[in-house]
Amino acid sequence: LHPRVRRQRQMCIRDSYKAVECVENGELFHFHENPNPKCPVGRNIHTVLDNRLDKVQQAMENELKKITLADIESDIQKLIQK
């Protein structure tokens, strides 16, 4: 294989995910920008959820790092051959 093709096949899915910018400002979970400070849920929602959602996003991205385009290609080829 050509070195560029080899590099592309070893590219992980996380790289593709980041390259297509499918999340706004790098945040997968983007919500409720201006919660009502008078609302007990609204004024606390980011304090309660932001750190947890950051951990979820990081875990997902870590899993995506483990999957290469070559893995996807191989799995597709196996399914096609059935």
User: Between helices 3-10 and 69-81, what is the axis angle to 10°?
Assistant: 90
The rounded mean pLDDT for the chain is 86
Angle made by CA atoms 66, 58, 51, in degrees to the nearest 5: 165
pLDDT in tens, 33-57: 889 999 999 999 999 999 999 999 9
| Choice between 1 and 76, residue whose per-residue pLDDT is larger | 76
* Cα–Cα dist 47/52, whole Å: 9
SS3 of residue 24 by DSSP: strand
Given a cut of 60, whether residue 1 has pLDDT beyond it is no
Supply the pTM of this predicted model.
0.72
Could you count the other beta carbons within 10 Å of the beta carbon of residue 28?
Answer: 15
DSSP per-residue codes, 9-23: HH-BHHHHHHHTT-S
DSSP 13: H
